[in-house]
Amino acid sequence: MEQWSTREEINAARERLESGHEGWRRPAAYAVGVHRDGATAFGLTNVGTSPLPAVVLAVECGHTSGTATYELTPDRLGAAIEALSPAEACTELQHPNLVEWKRLAAETGERGGQPVAVFVADLEDTPVDQHDRAFREAIA
């Protein structure tokens, strides 16, 4: 399995993914949350940060640009975790998105719920659905 053990290797991986994901535009904000009992909650949000996890998640969702939400199957969330896991080899960086995605995968496996990815192109965009509205409240 490929490992990215330095910042340079992580940046190179991000550049490869971004250039290979046709139409890709970095979002202003994004996150993975869980929808359960009629509400969507987010433990970690990204506003203007963490471009590698953003593109990894986008590839798994088929997202390229704009503001959108995606319900994630356990397999799709697992594939995003697997695709981002080579970054763990870089011990000089923390990997909060990977930690959060693993936590969500375990939590939804045990307690149920629907993992949801949210991408916001511009913070001035109108929320597209209830998941996006919950995300906007989380980052406000």
Tell me the whole-structure pTM to 2 decimals.
0.95
Q: What percentage of the chain reaches a pLDDT higher than 70? A: 100
Q: Residue 1's pLDDT is what?
A: 72
Residues 59-70 have a mean pLDDT of: 97
User: Tens digits of per-residue pLDDT, 12-63?
Assistant: 999 999 999 999 999 999 999 999 999 999 999 999 999 999 999 999 999 9
Segment 108-118 mean pLDDT: 95
- Residue 16 forms part of a structural domain: yes
Residue 2 lies in a domain: no
Structure confidence by residue, pLDDT tens digits, 120-135 = 999 999 999 999 999 9
In Å, what is the CA distance from 84 to each residue of 112, 129, 132?
23, 27, 23
Q: What is the CATH number of the domain that holds 20?
A: 3.30.70.2010
Instruction: Flag whether 105 is in a domain.
Output: yes
The boundaries of the domain holding residue 64 are 7-139
Q: Which residues contact 49 (CB under 8 A, 6 or more apart)?
A: none
Confidence (pLDDT) at 27:
98
133 within some domain: yes
In a domain, 99, yes or no: yes
